[in-house]
Chains A and B, each alone.
Chain A
Amino acid sequence: MGNVSSGQFKTGMKVMIDGDPCNMVEVEFVKPGKGQAFTRVRLRNLMTGRIWERTFKSNESAETADVMDRDMEYLYSDGEMWHFMEPNSFEQYAADQNAVAESAKWLKEGDKVMITLWNDNPIAVTPPNFVELEVVETDPGLKGDTANGGSKPAKMSTGAVVKVPLFINQGEVLRIDTRSGEYVSRA
């Protein structure tokens, strides 16, 4: 891949920093009227998730990283790896624990997810913003308690534990916001 000079940095650009692919979360051009120009960048290491700020001189550049996001279908997990398929090419990809990380608890077979590939290897898995999952374990529902704000934990089919209203019963399918991990509604 090529190099990109700091003056051309843009939010969302993927570059290699110290051997790891990183995403530019925020880019700010800094220049005092009479002083030197700098580019201040908020970076996220796509391998470790670490977020930090780095400042580049105007004559510095960075190597662009071959990183792309692809929509795929989640197939199954064999206990060690999670398997996904690109729906157009039917090409299959396997992601390890590091790549799947916290997303594992939202993965339901057949759901569409976004896979981040670096040099064609999955390095991150992003679940859909909303998923519909079945409750496999929770205390019995309290009839009539639909208005009060109380909640209780419920274990979902994927293993995630979500706080749900008291009236929810085992076996119900719920809509969950994966970004906040919160219950939205009955599906």
Chain B
Amino acid sequence: MNNHWQPSAEILTLRERAKVLAQVRAFFAERGVLEVDTQCMSHAAVSDPFIDSLEVSYQPYPGGDTQSLYLQSSPEYAMKRLLAADSGPIYQLGKAFRNGEFGRLHNPEFTMLEWYRPRFSSRELMDEVQALVSEVLGQQHWERLTYRELFLQYVGLDPHTASIKSLKALLESQFDMPFSDDRKDTWLELVMSHLIEPKLIEPVLVYDFPASQAALAEVGTDSTGTLVATRFELYAGGMELANGYQELRDPEEQADRLQADDQFRGQNGLPQRPLETRLVAALEAGFPNCSGVALGFDRLLMIKLGLSSIQEVIPFAFDRA
């Protein structure tokens, strides 16, 4: 008998899901953060080289010329345009889409909670992330470590000074990885995903990332004079749960990063897509000093309910959708 009509999550789980959705909305309502629901479909695509957008075809009438639009991989660009238009603090709890991402912790369509706080430092936003997650998960043991401290503690290497060779050697002592990659960040990410992340069960806020992993975060120097991104990540339940920035405000730097991503895509055979130049224009018009964070809502629910796959917390996972 074909059971594929059935949901991938149990109804009891979906009841819990609804409760947590309401809980999140109450949390922000109480703090005066405005809910927004920006469009899923955009004329521009995300620039991050390793995030692939889903492309959809728009037609003015059946059989007419098609136009490519892209499903948002996060509502970041649109929300920043709202911030530049003086929206004040905003949050969004909605769908995001990422091509090719399907596995125990990934579904190509998932629910993301993203919020922005004008005048908050990334430290203050970390406090708020902790407050929200604690409200959902209950009392937990929290830790805050710099990216360097995390690596030193778990693998005994300083990520800022370690060579590709030493990172590769560390990994190859446990895993067969017969490929080369001259991007140091790839090896740092592999150490993180293979050796560190699975051990981060209790919530850990990690900050001061290598400047090369800044994405849309401001870059500064830490107490040792190393260039670091004012970016933080929350790990819990052995997985990445949230990613936050002290947001980049400089339009020129923003334009440069979009171009650099696009160039990297070109050199590495990755699809090149329309860049969100309206974000640059929004920053030019004036963007508040602000911090923002995106949190995987489905994963938060997995931790709360003690479930091991994302498919168990969403009504119809990719293979049943």
Contacts and interface: CB of A to CB of B under 8 A. Distances in A.
Interface of A: 7, 28-38, 40, 52-58, 60
B177 A34 contact: no
Nearest to B51: A34
Contacts of A28: 103-104
Contact of B213 (A31, A34, A40): A34
B50 A36 contact: yes
Interface of B: 48, 50-51, 100-106, 174-179, 181, 185-186, 189-190, 192-194, 213, 215, 240, 243, 294
Contacts of B294: 33
A28 B178 CA distance: 17
A54 B179 contact: no
B217 to A, nearest CB: 10
Contacts, number: 64
A30 B215 CA distance: 19
A52 B176 contact: yes
B174 A29 contact: no
B106 to A, nearest CB: 6
A32 B174 contact: no
A38 B103 contact: no
B155 to A, nearest CB: 16
Contacts of A29: 101-106
A30 B243 contact: no
Contacts of A57: 179, 181
A56 B179 CA distance: 8
A16 B215 CA distance: 38
Given A29-B102, A34-B215, A37-B50, A55 B176 contact: yes
B50 A53 contact: no
Given A28-B103, A34-B213, A58-B100, 16 more contacts: A30-B103, A30-B194, A33-B51, A34-B48, A35-B185, A37-B100, A37-B101, A38-B190, A38-B193, A40-B175, A54-B175, A54-B178, A55-B176, A55-B190, A55-B194, A57-B179
